[in-house]
Amino acid sequence: DLFSSTFQRGGRHEKIMTLKESLNQLGFGEIKVTTYYGDFTEKRVKDFQKYYGLTVTGKADLDTLDKIEELKSTPFQRGKRHEDTIQLKKDLNRLGFGNIKVTPLYGSFTETRVKDFQRYYGLTVTGVADSRTLDKIAEILSTPFQRGKRHEDTIQLKKDLNRLGFGNIKVTPLYGSFTETRVKDFQRYYGLTVTGIADSRTLDKIDEILSSPLQKGKRHEDTIQLKENLNQLGFDGIKVTTYYGDFTEKRVEEFQQAYELPVSGIADEVTLATIDELLQSREEVTYTNYRYTLEEALDIQMNQLQQTDMYRNAPAYVHSAYIQLTSSNNGKTTSRLNVRAEPNNTSHIYGTLNEGASVTILEKGNTWYKIQYNTWRNPTRSDVRYYLDPSNNDRFQHLVLTASAGVPASELNTVLKGKGVLEGLGQAFIDGGKEHSVNEIYLISHALLETGHGTSTLAKGVEVGKDQNGHLVLVHSTNRDNVTDIKTTYNMFGIGAVDSNPLRGGAFRAYNEGWFTPEAAIKGGAKFIASSYIHNQYKQNTLYKMRWNPANPGYPQYATDIAWAVKQVTQIKNMYSLLNNPMLRFNIPNYK
């Protein structure tokens, strides 16, 4: 008959053209539409039969033709209307293939989103919501790995996510809202469709990463290149072999933390891509958009205390009516009084004097006195605007202080040469910086400032012990015999060195922290600086952000001097100039 003799390889018939058109339409295509049933047609028929669970013969038998007709008559295809299309659209929207208007019409956009779904899950791409597509949708929507459901396997899923750096998930069988959030984070990070449902693609990706050879305890030839690359980027000291040991994992974790990647210690595809990108270019400039305009940020800043030393030697004036003379050139204020830039009531206000403040008069006029005013002064609005505007800044104000300079200890030791007790401690700054994600050059700059270039008493070591009551005391020749638990303490960043007694405060803090070697003081100080200055909810990880905090202008900010960030740049920039091809990462604000 027709089916046994014609709808198979070698047959010819007009109806074979219709068969080919149908197969092309259903995604089993690229078949040239002729009356001849050739090898390629046979192959596509086999693909169709295998896909829909039919007996695979390559012959277009009745079961095959019936299945083709069933698919062509489904209401789930472009141009048709059906009430069940409403639920299909809702399901696709739920599964991240969305923005579909929910109506009974199966339009061109619905067809496109069905194709996207089919392509994503490895189905034949037809745009027709066939049984395989509907079954896949039902499978995903019925999975226990979605919010509100409980399942024992959720425990392992949570452990895996925690392991891969998408963590802090409480390990229970409940798939709650936080688990959904972390699954979304994982999906977004690896370019999967973001649904919060741990579907087959998500689970496969988790398994792929967890089975990577680039993780602790495994051996692989690619580990050699990974180690060489990390050593080159300053995450160094790794012995180059095929074995991925504890120290390699530690260095990978440090790299991931420094570049704000999920910290797993596994060299996944994103980690490797980031390494490659950095090796290709040792300089990176990124921009961050903020919700304020420059003028809005300036308005907020002008309501905060702003100070400048720009006008330290400029003339300053007060109204004579509010000065009670105590001698020919001295007086006291009789009320709170503005200090003006010029002898009139409309000029810029440098500051204020409280009632009863002593005043040294330099020149007397009929209405205004020129006075001695050797103090920080209020800047003008245009002064503040100049320093606030990123386009006026040296780019080193925008150096990312959470990223390593990527140079070996020998390079840093060049910078530290002749710097007292700090000389030769480049590796300690690298280790402290990596452990707490702080740029090692910034740490050195901070330490040089606080220790007087490595020569301060706190830097060189202060003995501290405990008296008979167990209280900490500074050790000296007259009390040494009565003091126990004597340790030499080191403090490289002036931490705890209060103004009232900086030596005592700084040494006691070092004792309590266990800073009994210069290296320990550097690493411990790095932790303090990281938590106190850089790593907060506003990510104030540049000098500019420390001073101006564009994410939340006004608070917190680490200085009132409008030129503070500018003044910090010089030493950091000079140190970078001594390094051989360092990594430079800049992040510049974009005001709205």
3-state secondary structure of 60: coil
CA 361 to chain centre: 55
* CB atoms closer than 10 angstroms to residue 393: 21
Q: For residues 371 and 343, what is the distance between their CA atoms, to the nearest angstrom? A: 11
First to last CA, the chain: 75
178 contacts: CB under 8 Å, gap ≥ 6: 169, 170
Are the C-beta atoms of 434 and 258 separated by less than 8 Å? yes
- Tens digit of pLDDT for each residue in 406-440? 888 989 999 999 999 999 999 999 999 989 999 99
Strand partners, 586: 285, 399
In this predicted structure, the answer to whether residue 581 has a pLDDT above a threshold of 90 is no
* CB atoms closer than 10 angstroms to residue 189: 17
Are the C-beta atoms of 254 and 282 separated by less than 8 Å? no
In this predicted structure, the answer to whether residue 557 has a pLDDT above a threshold of 70 is yes
The model's confidence at residue 3, banded by pLDDT at 50, 70 and 90, is: low
Strand partners, 308: 377
- Tens digit of pLDDT for each residue in 74-115? 888 888 899 989 999 999 988 888 789 999 999 989 999 999
- Tens digit of pLDDT for each residue in 440-468? 999 999 999 899 999 999 999 999 999 99
* CB atoms closer than 10 angstroms to residue 173: 13
Task: Output 283 or 166, whichever has higher pLDDT.
Answer: 166
- Tens digit of pLDDT for each residue in 488-513? 999 999 999 887 899 999 999 999 99
- Tens digit of pLDDT for each residue in 112-158? 999 989 988 988 888 889 888 998 899 888 899 998 999 999 999 99
Counting every residue, how long is the chain?
Answer: 592
The model's confidence at residue 25, banded by pLDDT at 50, 70 and 90, is: confident
Are the C-beta atoms of 402 and 229 separated by less than 8 Å? no
**560 backbone dihedrals φ, ψ, rounded to 5°:** -105, -20
pLDDT given at position 338: 97
The model's confidence at residue 4, banded by pLDDT at 50, 70 and 90, is: low
Is-above-0.85 flag for pTM? Answer: no
In this predicted structure, the answer to whether residue 238 has a pLDDT above a threshold of 80 is yes
The residue among 592, 552, 543, 533 whose CA lies nearest residue 572 is 543
Are the C-beta atoms of 468 and 482 separated by less than 8 Å? yes
* CB atoms closer than 10 angstroms to residue 516: 16
The single-letter code of the amino acid at 440 is: E
Q: For residues 298 and 242, what is the distance between their CA atoms, to the nearest angstrom? A: 55
Q: For residues 433 and 255, what is the distance between their CA atoms, to the nearest angstrom? A: 11
Q: For residues 238 and 231, what is the distance between their CA atoms, to the nearest angstrom? A: 7
3-state secondary structure of 362: strand
- Tens digit of pLDDT for each residue in 206-237? 999 999 999 999 999 999 999 999 988 878 78
**478 backbone dihedrals φ, ψ, rounded to 5°:** -85, -15
In this predicted structure, the answer to whether residue 1 has a pLDDT above a threshold of 60 is no
Q: For residues 411 and 236, what is the distance between their CA atoms, to the nearest angstrom? A: 13
Pairing of strands 283-289, 584-590: parallel
The residue among 406, 387, 316 whose CA lies nearest residue 567 is 387
244 contacts: CB under 8 Å, gap ≥ 6: 213, 214, 215, 216, 217, 218, 219, 220, 223
The residue among 60, 12, 92, 11 whose CA lies nearest residue 52 is 60
Give me the helices (H) in 417-490, please: 426-436, 440-451, 457-460
In this predicted structure, the answer to whether residue 174 has a pLDDT above a threshold of 70 is yes
Strand order across the beta sheet in which 462-466 lies: 472-474, 462-466, 484-489
Mean pLDDT of the chain: 92
The residue among 448, 478, 405 whose CA lies nearest residue 234 is 405
pLDDT given at position 2: 53
421 contacts: CB under 8 Å, gap ≥ 6: 451, 454, 455, 459, 460, 461, 490, 518
pLDDT given at position 280: 79
Strand partners, 338: 352
In this predicted structure, the answer to whether residue 5 has a pLDDT above a threshold of 70 is no
Residue 540 corresponds to which tokens in the numbers above?
């104030």
